[in-house]
């Protein structure tokens, strides 16, 4: 039996991000912010994004949690002691110095002199007493350990752990995470594909390949503040319909280009959603196939996947990051229409 995993990329997230191709999130940004979203993409942040990323990693790549998140409490000293500690930490970051080097007494004394701290103290023993405290050493040590990581509270860690465990064990969703005979489960599978001559990429949370029935199930894991019954609000607000099209096209491309999977059926796309308000029961949100044409072509005032992909192609090929394709092609003249 041929394995689907041999047809996709299993690469780190950072390597995936460097691949020059459009993703659903890039198309969303292009729709929201215009062409400059490609040349100068926003760095997304926020508590909700951190929480979702944490749950997602617990489910799909728990072995890498410590590389991205840091949950030890960091208590900062105050006043001059904080100024000294932050100056030493800046040296550590700029010059890539280890904890042992920036906490050498001679280094610290020189830094105190440069910062003109405690200038009335000449005796080195009394000067050392100013900084030789547990809170000073702990703050520097923990700050270096947390460098480049997302700092999370124990409360956030506990809440995310609960959500992940519910998805893994609840009767509604546990089967999607359980390996068994003839069932192949892929997590964070990256797929490169070409649609109408344009290169795209997708990084899929969860693929369940049922080799017994020759069916492929495509899932994305979402967390949010909306009640389980109101996930649709987020679906349209954050344009997850672009994600649906991108992921299905990616999986379809694997099937079409590999003889052993050409007769496999792709099931309807599903979101596994768990709400922070009611986190004991997950919900499976199904995306009916009849909606896919709308998501591809657009509807009402919503731009579809294909049009956004063409907009992306226009910007990349022309290098015009200051004007929308629609404006240029119509020579700056657009008509008001009846709504």
What's the confidence (pLDDT) of residue 44? 65
Does 234 share its domain with 104? no
Q: How many domains does the chain have?
A: 2
Q: What tokens were used for 238? A: 């954050």
What's the confidence (pLDDT) of residue 184? 95
Does 228 share its domain with 322? yes
- Is residue 68 a part of any domain in this protein? no
Does 110 share its domain with 232? no
Does 206 share its domain with 296? yes
Domain boundary among 108, 125, 145: 145
What's the confidence (pLDDT) of residue 163? 96
Domain boundary among 97, 125, 145: 145
- Is residue 61 a part of any domain in this protein? no
Q: In angstroms, rounded to a whole number, what is the distance separating the alpha carbons of residues 148 and 153?
A: 16
User: Residue 294: which CATH number?
Assistant: 3.90.320.10
Does 214 share its domain with 294? yes
CA distances (Å), origin 321, targets 27, 36, 150, 250, 327: 14, 5, 31, 27, 12
Kindly list the averaged pLDDT for each block of 10 residues, start to end, along the chain of length 339.
88 89 94 89 77 92 87 80 87 81 85 85 83 86 82 89 96 94 94 95 96 96 94 95 97 95 96 95 97 96 95 92 89 88
What's the confidence (pLDDT) of residue 1? 65
Residue 235 sits in which domain range? 4-45+155-328
The whole-model pTM stands at 0.83
What's the confidence (pLDDT) of residue 137? 86
């Amino acid at each position: 039996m041929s394995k689907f995993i041999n047809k996709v990329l299993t690469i780190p997230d950072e390597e995936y991000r460097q691949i020059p191709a459009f993703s659903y999130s890039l198309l969303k940004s292009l729709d929201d912010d215009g062409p400059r979203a490609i040349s100068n993409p926003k760095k997304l942040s926020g508590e909700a994004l951190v929480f979702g990323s944490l749950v997602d990693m617990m489910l799909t790549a728990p072995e890498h949690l410590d590389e991205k998140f840091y949950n030890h409490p960091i208590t900062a000293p105050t006043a001059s002691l904080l100024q000294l500690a932050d100056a030493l930490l800046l040296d550590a970051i700029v010059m890539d110095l280890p904890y042992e080097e920036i906490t050498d007494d001679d280094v610290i004394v020189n830094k105190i002199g440069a910062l003109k701290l405690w200038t009335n103290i000449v005796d080195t023993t009394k000067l050392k007493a100013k900084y030789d405290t547990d809170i000073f050493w702990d703050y520097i040590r923990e700050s270096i350990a947390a460098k480049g990581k997302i700092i999370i509270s124990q409360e956030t860690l506990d809440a995310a752990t609960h959500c992940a465990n519910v998805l893994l064990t609840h009767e509604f969703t546990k089967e999607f995470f359980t390996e068994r005979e003839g069932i192949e489960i892929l997590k964070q599978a990256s797929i490169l594909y070409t649609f109408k001559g344009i290169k795209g990429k997708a990084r899929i949370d969860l693929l369940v390949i049922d080799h017994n029935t020759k069916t492929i199930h495509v899932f994305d894991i979402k967390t949010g503040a909306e009640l389980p019954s109101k996930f649709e609000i987020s679906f349209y607000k954050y344009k997850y319909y672009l994600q649906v099209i991108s992921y299905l096209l990616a999986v379809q491309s694997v099937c079409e280009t590999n003889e052993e999977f050409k007769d496999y059926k792709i099931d309807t796309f599903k979101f596994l959603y768990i709400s922070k308000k009611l986190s004991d029961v997950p919900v499976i949100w199904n995306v009916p196939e009849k909606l896919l044409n709308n998501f591809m072509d657009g509807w009402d005032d919503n731009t579809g996947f294909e049009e956004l992909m063409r907009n992306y192609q226009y910007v990349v090929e022309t290098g015009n990051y200051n004007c929308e394709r629609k404006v240029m092609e119509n020579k700056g003249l657009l008509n008001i229409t009846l709504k």
